[in-house]
Amino acid sequence: MGNHHYQIDHYRNSWKLVNIRDYKLPFNKLLAMKKQLYATVLTIFLWSTTAFSQVNTTPFTAALDTFNIISGTTLDAMMADDQYYSNVPIGFNFDFAGATHTNMIVSCNGYIQLDTLPTNMFTNILCSGYNNRIAAFGGDLMHMNANASLQYTTIGTAPDRICVIQWLHYSYFGGGSGDVSFQIRLHETSNCISFVYGTNFYSTNPLQTQIGLRGDTSTDYLVLGDTSCNWAAAYPFNSIFTTFPVTSSCSMPAGFSYRFGACGSNGSTVFASVSGSVFNDSNSDGIRDTSESPISNHIISISPGNNHVASDAHGDYAFFFADSSLTYTITSGGITYWTNTTPSPASVSPLTNACTDVDFGYAMIPNIHEMEIHCPSWNAKPGQPEPMPIWYTNNGTSIDSDTITFVMDPLYSFISSNPVPTSVNGQIITWAYPAIAPGQSGVIHLQLLPDSSAVLGDTLHSTLSIGPLNDTVPTNNILALNQLLSNSWDPNEKLVYPSGRIASGDELTYTIHFQNTGNAPAANVVVVDTLDAKLDLMSFRVVGSSHSMNFTLQNSRTAVFTFYNIQLPDSGTDMAGSNGYVMFTIRSKSNLPQQSTINNIAGIYFDTNPAIITNTASVIIGLESPTGVMVPDVYTISATPNPNSGTVQFRFTSNESELALLSIYNATGQLVYQQDALQSNDVVNLSQLSAGVYTAVLKTENGAKTIKLLKQ
């Protein structure tokens, strides 16, 4: 990856500026930094690659690099404070202060120590009684933010490996202010040390921070300070007690770096990584043009190893290799009704070929109509307004517009909707949704009121459907909503649909609901969900959320949904506004054994508070008929049209001459229709049934399958 950077060479009490290059910062910041660094370009200083026996003779440089987030071994846990972790492997021999080290101690408080003595300092990091310390942000830090972590990894191939220790989204102790991210990088062979800083948010209150190195005595040190509130103008002070000014007014751009020694080519750090983008290749030429739109939240698989990353809002992805001597296979999951225009999987070998611009393009197969609809079935409380967010998505490749119909339970009454319905006729609400492009989603914010006389413990049965009638997959055009009436429940919950028993390979819709029941607004909310190993990550799709959020995939199977600056009001101030949710779909893996259980829970973090753990949302592999008899998962069925007005054609993937028993049950489980000796493609007359949602069970000698029917 290219790194544009400037450098300042520092010696003890002296400095000189070298090699200013164009770095793509906002113009005002770049101009200010260039003014502060003076505008003189001097000669480049060449370092020796041997270790310095005295740290105070180590050449010091300030530069701009790139803060690349690693995914390595996690050391800490939520609320970790003043913790240190011993015998952490560096991964190679590293020379520091005249000695060779293979292990280190890593502290939550922004430093590492290259010996085995216990350490738990939270102040005076470099001027205490401990030697062989390296402090990138030595201060009283704490893991309080929900997305915080302390990780390490060793990247690359001998003799040019880099050990990276990363503090991500750490806070100041006491109140949880600040959000700081930084890395210490130890370089093999050159024995260079670099500190790289991310996008940081500092408190207005100064933190007593020490930045620099301490050797094997209290007289051998290189401690940075600054009198002008400018990180780029920092220089080594004569006192080991020097602290660095860290306030909201003394900041630096993301990627700012301090280096001690010669760190790689031209002083920049080069990681072994693969990067690229996922995009809508509208002209099918296999090249991403500037006008072609990104595909976000798309899962990429990297092997060997069970590694997954997700494309960001710009369609971009990146992954760092732990061993660049291997050949890696990069696979982008397919998109239904789209074709690949670029090779997938792609093969890359970091030592022999470029690993950038490994892009994955997709082009639409035209004229496919495929809409789907979602709505969470959370509990309802009698007499209390109930929000019912209705999400609809165009999974096809044609622009569609049609109608959405909500049939309310008799105990529901309509309050409001945004957008306004086309009609409200008794218990039937109808909307005409506007033209929606392929891959796009829309949402209807519906408010209903359960009758105050509703009996606790009963269930509200409503149905939701979306057109068009010529939809390719009619089964996801209809949704049966069954809401338990309850007086109180934990509002921080996880729901799964369908629930109970499913077939192996079925798609599941998860909704994670949260509510701020505190006494003040929540500035940020983070939802963390470690996905069960029986779920197919490559099928993951974000459906919708109550507020703007950012999705990332961490540690290969941990989905993180960050609602930054959500400013969620508390329930005492605004009951309706205190709620939020995120909804996603994912398929169970195929060929799972019967009776396999898929369990999922989520942790919900409100600001710096400990996680609220949701209930466990569970499903079991193996379908069950309404009579309670287990049936094997051996074939699929379809019913068209669905919704229907009285006639339905059933198809099932089985022997053409095989006969089936068709049983249809209403929403209460009562058998309302049965027909024996049904053949695939037979048309059944259901005109005698009243409007509503039904469950059809087709049973043959090979087993049984169920499908939902909507009778209009």
217-242 pLDDT, tens digit per residue, is: 889 989 888 776 677 777 888 888 88
Higher per-residue pLDDT: 41 or 468: 468
d(CA 11, CA 8): 10
Edge to edge, the sheet with strand 617-621 lists 500-502, 617-621, 597-600
Give the mean pLDDT of 175-199: 86
Q: Look at the block and give the residue holding tokens 């963390």.
A: 528
Give the mean pLDDT of 97-110: 91
Q: Look at the block and give the residue holding tokens 């026996």.
A: 53
pLDDT band for position 163 (50/70/90)? very high
Q: Look at the block and give the residue holding tokens 């933190």.
A: 207
Residue 639 above 90 pLDDT? no
Q: Where do the domains of the chain lie, and which CATH numbers do they carry?
A: 55-267 (no CATH), 273-364 (2.60.40.10), 369-383+392-483 (2.60.40), 490-622 (2.60.40.740), 637-711 (2.60.40.3080)
What's the pLDDT at 12?
32
Tokens of 92: 């190679």
Average pLDDT score over the chain = 80
Give the mean pLDDT of 586-608: 89
Strand 371-374 relative to strand 412-418: parallel, antiparallel, unpaired?
unpaired
CB 113 within 8 A of CB 107: yes
What's the pLDDT at 262?
78
Give the mean pLDDT of 395-400: 92
Phi, psi of 606 (to 5 degrees): -100, 110
Residues contacting residue 602 through CB under 8 Å, at least 6 positions apart: 494, 512, 527, 528, 529, 613, 614
Residues contacting residue 632 through CB under 8 Å, at least 6 positions apart: 594, 622, 623, 702, 703
CB 496 within 8 A of CB 619: yes
Give the mean pLDDT of 463-471: 86
d(CA 318, CA 310): 9
Higher per-residue pLDDT: 124 or 684: 684
CB 601 within 8 A of CB 614: yes
Share of the chain above pLDDT 90, in %: 31
Tokens of 404: 């959405």
pLDDT band for position 272 (50/70/90)? low
Q: Look at the block and give the residue holding tokens 């003779």.
A: 57
Count of C-beta atoms within a 10 Å radius of residue 122: 18
pLDDT band for position 175 (50/70/90)? low
Name residue 278's beta-bridge partners.
360
pLDDT band for position 669 (50/70/90)? low
What's the pLDDT at 148?
84
Lowest-confidence pick of 172-176, 257-261, 417-421, 624-628 = 624-628
What's the pLDDT at 623?
59
CB 341 within 8 A of CB 360: no
**Could you tell me how far CA 219 lies from the centroid of its own chain?**
46
Q: What is the pTM of this model?
A: 0.59
d(CA 264, CA 66): 14
pLDDT band for position 191 (50/70/90)? very high
d(CA 208, CA 531): 40
What's the pLDDT at 510?
95
Range from 33-47, 113-127, 583-597, 612-626 that averages highest in pLDDT:
583-597
Range from 19-23, 595-599, 640-644, 677-681 that averages highest in pLDDT:
595-599
Higher per-residue pLDDT: 251 or 37: 251
Residue 276 above 60 pLDDT? yes
pLDDT in tens, 331-370: 998 898 999 999 889 998 877 777 888 999 999 999 899 9
Lowest-confidence pick of 16-20, 234-238, 276-280, 638-642 = 16-20
d(CA 32, CA 353): 39
CB 231 within 8 A of CB 250: yes
Helical (H) or strand (E) element with 643 = none
**For residue 24, how many C-alpha atoms fall within 13 Å in the half-sphere facing its CB?**
3
pLDDT band for position 266 (50/70/90)? very low
What one-letter code names the amino acid at 198?
Answer: G
Lowest-confidence pick of 354-363, 551-560, 703-712 = 703-712
Range from 482-486, 488-492, 650-654, 692-696 that averages highest in pLDDT:
482-486
Residue 81 above 90 pLDDT? no
CB 230 within 8 A of CB 244: no
What's the pLDDT at 243?
82
What's the pLDDT at 7?
34
Residue 489 above 90 pLDDT? no
How far, CA to CA in Å, does 699 sit from each of 122, 631, 659? 68, 9, 9
Residue 451 above 70 pLDDT? yes
Tokens of 106: 């890593």
**Could you tell me how far CA 542 lies from the centroid of its own chain?**
10
pLDDT band for position 448 (50/70/90)? very high
